[in-house]
Amino acid sequence: MALGVTKLEPIPTTPVTSRWRRIVTPIPAPESIPVIERLRAAEPQSMAGLPPILWDQAEGFLVRDRFGNQWIDLTSGIVLANAGHAHPRILEAIRSATEHRLLATYAFPSESRLKLLEKLVALSPIPTSKAILYSSGTEATECALMLMRRHGQRIHPRKVGIVSLAGHYHGRTLAAHLASGMPQPTDWIERERVDHFQIPAPHSLTFPWGKSHEGACGAECFQSSINALAERGVGQERIAGLILEPVPGTTTMPIPLDFAAAAADWVQRHDVLLAFDEIQCGCGRTGRFFGGDHLGVTPDLIVLGKGLSSSLPVSAVIGRSTLLDLPLPGEMSSTHGGNPVCAAAALANLQVLEDERLMEVAVRTGAAVLDRLRGLQRDLPQRIRAVQGVGLFISVHLRRPDSDEPDVESADAVAQAAVRRGVLMFTTGRGYLKFTPPLSIDLEAALEAADVIRECLIERISTP
Ligand SMILES: Cc1ncc(COP(=O)(O)O)c(C=O)c1O
């Protein structure tokens, strides 16, 4: 995904005042521009692809700048604030952890780490689980990939290959990056030289193998992909693990059930491990705690991040204890993994998700939003290819007029226009709009945001 650097010219706005939205300046706010310019001078352009809003405060499902503007947040940061931004119980947990004056412990025993680990083990669908904590999602993915390779290597020294799905995302550190994205020749490192292999995603809207977003590409696609690998000399004897997003961030739909079942059957028959990257779709986002709950398949490893704390950096790998115990003492740990303040935030977040029944809320709100957005699709079938999702993991896929090509420019223009009307969205650079607010969003606010998307889309396509 390549996004352009967002321009810093203030675009006039029509003032907006609703119960939740308030837009009182041009966007970007003129006073924010010198600050954003200083940021751009200090950090690389890779950081400059999102709408130029200078975040000052984020609370619940609202984001504010310090110039009087307020947005309904459809981003949850980057799909992370599942329990809402700055939830009072999470804030309180952070406050009391810092006041307790234990800010770091590394791998020394700590009670806050214990509480979070026991909670994760209790939530795990994997029998006899253990879990390990990290800070970023990519670090946890890296750990899962390392465990799969170590497991495979015990069977045969060459059984270290990782299979991933094109277009699924796993992070930006080396192995996570190798498992992510598209098999493009422009990749900065050649995947297959280090035993990383990609197969097509099953029901992608934009990738060649996918037949349709309705899931027609299932068991048969999986088998064809595996056969194609074997024909190139990459048989199961070279594969240690398969990693995928059970509900990918690009489609926001569970992968087809028969694809998942075929994959589960294949990994079991060939002593290959299966890892679910739940960094984005996990922690209640899809209306179930784990995205994999939609598939009826239990993986060997689960990776969590983002919504695990709805706030501070916490990630985790959960898996069978025999797997997690492969590395010896000292071989698998991280300086900040299980940091006491972060662990307290994550534990409070998991309690909030349960106590406020946010998964049930997400299912109800998500259904109403899908219904509203599908009305828009009925009105504009020539421009909207799909409106789909589970829970509050929803995407609207635009197409160029009378074509099946994704309409990247319109999707990003609609996201930018929505921001000027008080609905915070990210530009995806891929022809779709993502609707991923905090799960606690007020139903009326979610529908208001959907209506703003309608206005912006209609305006965009009626502009010559
Ligand atoms: C599915 C998935 N995996 C891995 C990552 C990487 O997580 P992080 O950015 O915390 O390293 C992300 C982040 O967007 C993600 O969505």
DSSP string, 226-289: HHHHHHTT--GGGEEEEEE-SS-TTT-SPPPHHHHHHHHHHHHHTT-EEEEE-TTTTTTTTSSS
d(CA 326, CA 317): 14
Assess if residue 64 is contained within a domain: no
pLDDT score of 208: 47
Same domain, 212 and 289: yes
252 in ligand 1 pocket by Cβ < 6 Å? no
For residue 275, with 0-12 CB atoms within 10 Å meaning exposed, 13-18 middle and 19 or more buried, which class applies? buried
138 in ligand 1 pocket by Cβ < 6 Å? yes
The range of the structural domain enclosing residue 463 comes to 357-388+402-423+436-464
Assess if residue 56 is contained within a domain: no
Assess if residue 397 is contained within a domain: no
Same domain, 283 and 381: no
pLDDT score of 213: 47
pLDDT score of 182: 74
76 in ligand 1 pocket by Cβ < 6 Å? no
Same domain, 218 and 170: yes
Assess if residue 27 is contained within a domain: no
Contact 403, 426 (CB under 8 A): no
Residue nearest to atom 13 of ligand 1 (CA): 171
- Spans of the chain below 70 pLDDT: 1-2, 183-187, 203-216, 464
Assess if residue 24 is contained within a domain: no
Same domain, 115 and 259: yes
Residue nearest to atom 5 of ligand 1 (CA): 171
Same domain, 329 and 364: no
Q: Which of the listed residues 335, 355, 375 is the one where a domain comes to its end?
A: 355
Same domain, 364 and 344: no
Same domain, 327 and 378: no
Assess if residue 418 is contained within a domain: yes
Same domain, 366 and 344: no
Instruction: Work out which ligand 1 atom sits closest to the CA atom of 173.
Output: 11
**Ligand 1 geometric centre to CA of 448 (Å):** 29
Nearest to 366 by CA among 396, 397, 389, 398: 389
> pTM of the prediction?
0.96
Same domain, 316 and 361: no
Residue nearest to atom 4 of ligand 1 (CA): 170
d(CA 210, CA 376): 25
Q: What total number of domains does the chain contain?
A: 2
Same domain, 296 and 178: yes
Assess if residue 116 is contained within a domain: yes
**Ligand 1 geometric centre to CA of 63 (Å):** 22
Instruction: Give the list of residues 6+ apart from residue 21 with CB closer than 8 angstroms, or none.
Output: 70, 71, 72, 421, 422, 423, 448, 452
Same domain, 265 and 150: yes
Assess if residue 134 is contained within a domain: yes
Same domain, 336 and 450: no
pLDDT score of 204: 60
pLDDT score of 207: 47
**Ligand 1 geometric centre to CA of 461 (Å):** 33
CATH of the domain at 257: 3.40.640.10
